[in-house]
């Protein structure tokens, strides 16, 4: 069973950068800057572990609400690790009062983020040679979180 935990950058920097390097730099051939940047120290990070306790994925959310650096090792991608990471990041954002959740998704991942209630918000742009789009989190309204004021209807009914 996959477990996703909130971790501190300073405690897990080596593990987080190792996963990012394998996914972004080696596999996707993106610049070394994808390993770490100036936002890491102030961001919330999550780390996913497989059933043996091995780290298999990571993601972060900045104070601005920007979700990024989501990386899952190739061997763990069929285990819904990415979904569990996104769900944990959204939960942590809610608990930490971080609003306006958004991300930059490359075209290959648009449908993945749509499944997690992100919608396209803006034109296509290029990032390190990849076509991307900004997406924002728009959770579906349910009767559980919808508050209705029925008083005006009662007065006219």
- C-alpha 52: how far from chain center: 23
Alpha-carbon torsion angle 145, 119, 88, 31, nearest 10: -160
For residue range 22-33, list pLDDT tens digits in order: 999 999 998 888
For residue range 35-57, list pLDDT tens digits in order: 899 999 999 999 999 999 999 99
pTM: 0.87
Per-residue pLDDT, 141? 66
| CATH classification (class only), 3-144 | alpha beta
């Amino acid at each position: 069973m996959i477990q996703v935990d909130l971790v501190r950058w300073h405690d897990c920097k080596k593990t987080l950068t190792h996963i990012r390097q394998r996914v972004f730099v080696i596999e996707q051939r993106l610049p070394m800057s994808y390993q770490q940047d100036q936002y890491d120290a102030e961001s919330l990070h999550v780390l996913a572990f497989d059933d043996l306790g091995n780290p298999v994925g990571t993601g972060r959310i900045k104070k601005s609400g920007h979700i990024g650096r989501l990386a899952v090792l190739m061997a763990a991608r069929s285990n819904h690790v990415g979904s569990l990471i996104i769900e944990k990041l959204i939960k942590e954002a809610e608990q930490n009062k971080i609003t306006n959740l958004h991300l930059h998704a490359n075209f290959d991942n648009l449908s993945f983020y749509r499944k997690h209630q992100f919608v396209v918000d803006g034109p296509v742009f290029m990032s390190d040679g990849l076509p991307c789009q900004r997406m924002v989190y728009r959770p579906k309204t349910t009767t559980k979180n919808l508050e209705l004021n029925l008083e005006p209807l009662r007065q006219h009914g």
